[in-house]
């Protein structure tokens, strides 16, 4: 597309670099911003740039943080003996929004995937081992996606942690809430039967 202003063209080009934003959407966003007060647009640009330049990563769990330690690790009311292992900070946000988990996290930064050149040394596994070695961690919950890479990572990490005497669990895999049995794949269905739960457990634990 042709724009009669290079400033507009530049802003549109920057927006189209974002995922899922094509040129028409980018133009709509730019024209929207053009209509706003200069101050508001300045807030927008500054918030985005500050986010990238001032962000820190928690020294304990590698989650994003405004200081050296993230809000979750710094909170004494959280259960520091239960660590939930997740792939990325997106998963931390997802789990936090369930309001059910009161422990702390450990962000791996990815999963083992030889095809993408991601070996165990590129992930935050060593720091997890060190956390466990300190002795306060009693349980590590593996909250990784149930993919080949996720399962490989769970296998690798648990091999490292189990000898240290820590309890290793994985999140339950089964039929989604509201999902229909008919449309569930065989793997999921088979696993949900194999790992069936006493009904009382569901009642008690579901309401935690």
| Residue 16 contacts residue 8 (beta carbons within 8 Å) | no
Q: Which residues contact 166 (CB under 8 A, 6 or more apart)?
A: 132, 137, 138, 139, 140
| Residue 95 contacts residue 106 (beta carbons within 8 Å) | no
**Cα dihedral 96, 109, 161, 116 sign:** positive
Output the smallest distance, CB 22 to a second copy, in A. 12
CA distance from start to end of the chain: 55
How far is Cα 157 from Cα 125, in angstroms, rounded to an integer? 7
**Site residues (CB under 8 A) for a second copy?**
1-8, 10-11, 13-15, 17-21, 25, 27-34, 36, 38, 40-55, 63-66, 70-72, 88-90, 92-93, 96-97
| Residue 73 contacts residue 127 (beta carbons within 8 Å) | no
Between 20 and 163, CB nearer to a second copy: 20
Output the smallest distance, CB 11 to a second copy, in A. 4
Output the smallest distance, CB 77 to a second copy, in A. 14
Between 51 and 204, CB nearer to a second copy: 51
Between 68 and 133, CB nearer to a second copy: 68
Greatest CA span in the chain, whole angstroms? 68
Output the smallest distance, CB 204 to a second copy, in A. 26
Closest to 123 (Cα-Cα) out of 140, 134, 107: 107
Output the smallest distance, CB 76 to a second copy, in A. 15
Between 45 and 135, CB nearer to a second copy: 45
Between 75 and 195, CB nearer to a second copy: 75
Output the smallest distance, CB 206 to a second copy, in A. 22
Within 10 Å of residue 146's Cβ, how many Cβ atoms? 13
What tokens does 126 get?
């060593």
Between 65 and 161, CB nearer to a second copy: 65
């Amino acid at each position: 597309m042709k724009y009669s202003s290079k400033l507009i063209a530049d802003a549109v080009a920057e927006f189209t670099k974002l995922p899922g934003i094509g040129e028409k959407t980018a133009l709509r966003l730019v024209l929207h911003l053009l209509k706003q007060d200069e101050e508001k647009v300045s807030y927008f640009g500054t918030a985005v740039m500050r986010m990238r330049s001032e962000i820190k990563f928690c020294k304990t769990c590698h989650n994003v943080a405004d200081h050296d330690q993230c809000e979750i690790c710094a909170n004494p009311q959280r259960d520091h003996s239960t660590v939930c292992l997740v792939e990325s900070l997106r998963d931390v946000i997802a789990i936090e929004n369930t309001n059910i988990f009161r422990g702390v996290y450990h962000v791996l930064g990815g999963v083992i995937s030889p095809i993408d050149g991601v070996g165990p040394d590129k992930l935050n596994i060593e720091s997890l081992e060190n956390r466990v070695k300190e002795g306060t961690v009693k349980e590590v919950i593996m909250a990784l996606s149930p993919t080949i890479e996720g399962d490989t990572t769970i296998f690798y990490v648990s091999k490292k942690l189990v000898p240290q005497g820590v309890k290793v669990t994985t999140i339950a895999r089964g039929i989604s809430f509201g999902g229909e049995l008919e449309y569930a794949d065989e793997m999921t269905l088979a696993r949900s039967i194999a790992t069936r739960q006493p009904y009382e457990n569901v009642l008690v634990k579901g309401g935690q």
